[in-house]
Structure 1
Amino acid sequence: MRPPRITVLGECVADAFTEPAPAANELALRVLPGGGPANTAVALARLGTPARFVARLSSDVFGRLFRTHLEASGVDLSYAVPAAEPSTLAVAELDARGQAAFSFHADDTADWQWTPGELARVDLSGTACVHTGSLALVRRPGAAVIEEFLATAASRATVSIDPNVRPLLVHPDVYRDRLAHWCRLADILRLSEDDLELLLPGTPPEQACDTWHAAGARLVVITLGGDGALVSLDGERLRVPATTTRVVDTVGAGDSFTAGLLHHLGERGALGGRLTGLTLDDVAEAGRFAARVAALTCSVAGPNPPWQDQLTRSATTADA
């Protein structure tokens, strides 16, 4: 059975990575299309889920890059808004472990300028899940418009949120102030251990899950890097191990994990409502699949999630 459509709402970001330059007084950058929501939409489409991406795409050189990349991956851009503002740019520096530190160039860019009219035209009929998060959910003026859209979407689709905290651009207090409200809107909350430390410093993951369940989220997933992930469904919990891989960098790994999780749940018919009938075993199976998707993303440079046939080949190799 083909998975149901998932609609992703949020930003595209041009991820610029430093490369060796021909002269000591020069800096060479390799620019890849990124942004958490865009990465998730691409990963979903490559896995075989019909993925619609609702975004504001600039007409500048980066915006044209985004559009080409998304369409080449099979993402539906029928509700993308042509934007006059420039694209958002992030310059990444990788450490020895492949972890990226970003500096952002994001003032007055296209991604944050949503109006109620732009989102009012989005038809969610046939959409089983709406996924969003990251900067678009906290950057003004568009953040409040997106929250209103989610409140409407919740009556007809499963809602998934990934906070993806970016403290260099938005203070963590802004996320903390809105998180309880997001949990009331969301059925699924996926975040990283770095997000957890920024949102609830020093809080054990299990305790954080209980806090967010109490606020309204049924399924909470905290990814823990090389230690796998903690999945918690209404307070029932287990750990999902990470998939071993050679790490080139970790850019986009969390977004790929989210896509793998949603894709697997969609294939099993679990999306479209309030996760009724979902069991912890179902979530564990989805988490193991998501870990494989994330591992393949870590094995290549930049936010470049795997296609379904790559995932199939990797599973065949692992079983050999």
Structure 2
Amino acid sequence: MDVAVLGECVADAFATRLPGELSMRVLPGGGPANTAVALSRLGTVTRFLGRLSTDVFGELFREHLSASGVDLSGCVTAAEPSTLAVATVDRDGHASYSFHAEGAADWQWTAAELSGLAPMACLHTGSMALLRSAAVEELLASVDATVSIDPNVRPSFGTREEYLERLPRWCALADVLKLSDDDLAYLLPGTSVEAACDGWHALGARLVVVTRGAGGALVSLDGRRAAVPARSVAVVDTVGAGDSFTAGFLHWLDGHGHLGGRLDLDLDTAVEAAAFAVRVAAWTCSVAGANPPWASELSVTP
């Protein structure tokens, strides 16, 4: 069975300031779509579940996903417009976004659109659809598959209170909960990563992975923890790095037979998966935009 990824495609517009105007270069993005592309390029059979608009951006998304070998048979053709994100990259390559998503196609799922899905080994989701659509939570509660959730917190899309209200439900549904240190700082300011992980374990998440940028990642399984160091790389930008990490992590688990139901693994196994994921994320940081590596490229040091 395949790994299914549910969520948005986003038109990432990178702005360049010119005298009296802005020039924008638009690339296909969106956390879940980036994850699906990275999974497929690594060699995992991947199905994307998205509401793809009929606008010009939707055409770009279909082309991009298909070129990376992603199965689009579970996508819905939507009349609503695509989401636009205007990205600003600072001197360290860190990207910040302003989202234009009101009335957009990505998060307006209905129960009917999500009914009758083919079986899957794993369902990964997060971000817009997870926050806005009750139908997505209902799907997560009903699937016989490993459930992976990355809230991918966007302050411009949802308030801190909205995320905190829903996080207990996501922890109860998730086999794998992945967050970033930026997510943690926004949701639980002043809370140590260890205390945060213990809280999420208590709410039901067995495996928690926190990505920490240049600090690597922290893996917490049932309260036992290990740090995974980052790889040294010349950073072009960090766009899509967290999504590539998630893809690398799930790809490794799938390739070693750990997806397909409730997780059955030990901390050492989770650390191996995270070490591979760090490698995939590092490659993505070494190139412009959300452009994760193909499996053949990982044999070359970025």
TM-score, normalised to structure 1, is 0.93
Secondary structure of residue in 2 paired with 1:43: helix
Letter in 2 for 1:33: P
Asked if 1:129 is matched to 2:122, the reply is yes
Letter in 1 for 2:297: Q
Structure 2 distance, partners of 1:274, 1:236, is 18
The offset of 1:20, in angstroms, is 5.9
Secondary structure of residue in 2 paired with 1:282: helix
Corresponding residue of 2:131: 138
Structure 2 distance, partners of 1:74, 1:129, is 18
The question of whether the paired residues in 1 share the 8 Å contact of 2:10 and 2:82 is answered with yes
Corresponding residue of 2:208: 220
Counterpart pick for 2:14 among 17, 24, 27? 17
Structure 1 distance, partners of 2:61, 2:193, is 35
Structure 2 distance, partners of 1:270, 1:114, is 29
Corresponding residue of 1:309: 296
1:240-286 Cα deviation digits (max 9, x unpaired): 0001111011011000000000000111101111112x011111111
Letter in 2 for 1:146: V
1:160-217 Cα deviation digits (max 9, x unpaired): 0001110012101111101011111000000000001111111111111110111111
1:29-58 Cα deviation digits (max 9, x unpaired): 110100000000000000000010000000
Letter in 2 for 1:152: S
Identity of aligned residues (%): 64
Structure 1 distance, partners of 2:29, 2:92, is 20
Counterpart pick for 2:165 among 177, 180, 196? 177
Corresponding residue of 2:63: 68
Corresponding residue of 1:194: 182
Structure 2 distance, partners of 1:52, 1:100, is 27
Structure 2 distance, partners of 1:31, 1:275, is 38
Asked if 1:112 is matched to 2:107, the reply is yes
Letter in 2 for 1:132: T
Corresponding residue of 2:245: 257
Corresponding residue of 1:79: 74
Cα 1:200–1:55, aligned 2, differ >3 Å: closer, same or farther?
Answer: same
Structure 1 distance, partners of 2:92, 2:117, is 41
The offset of 1:5, in angstroms, is 1.4
Structure 2 distance, partners of 1:212, 1:86, is 35
The runs of 5 or more residues in structure 2 that have no matched partner are none
1:218-244 Cα deviation digits (max 9, x unpaired): 100000000000001111110000011
Letter in 1 for 2:15: T
Structure 2 distance, partners of 1:233, 1:128, is 21
Letter in 1 for 2:14: F
Corresponding residue of 1:152: 142
Corresponding residue of 1:55: 50
Corresponding residue of 1:282: 269
Structure 1 distance, partners of 2:84, 2:234, is 28
Secondary structure of residue in 1 paired with 2:289: coil
Structure 2 distance, partners of 1:273, 1:149, is 15
Secondary structure of residue in 2 paired with 1:216: coil
Structure 2 distance, partners of 1:265, 1:130, is 13
Structure 1 distance, partners of 2:148, 2:95, is 25
The offset of 1:112, in angstroms, is 1.5
Q: Aligned residues, how many?
A: 302
CA RMSD of aligned residues (A): 1.0
The offset of 1:121, in angstroms, is 2.9
TM-score, normalised to structure 2, is 0.98
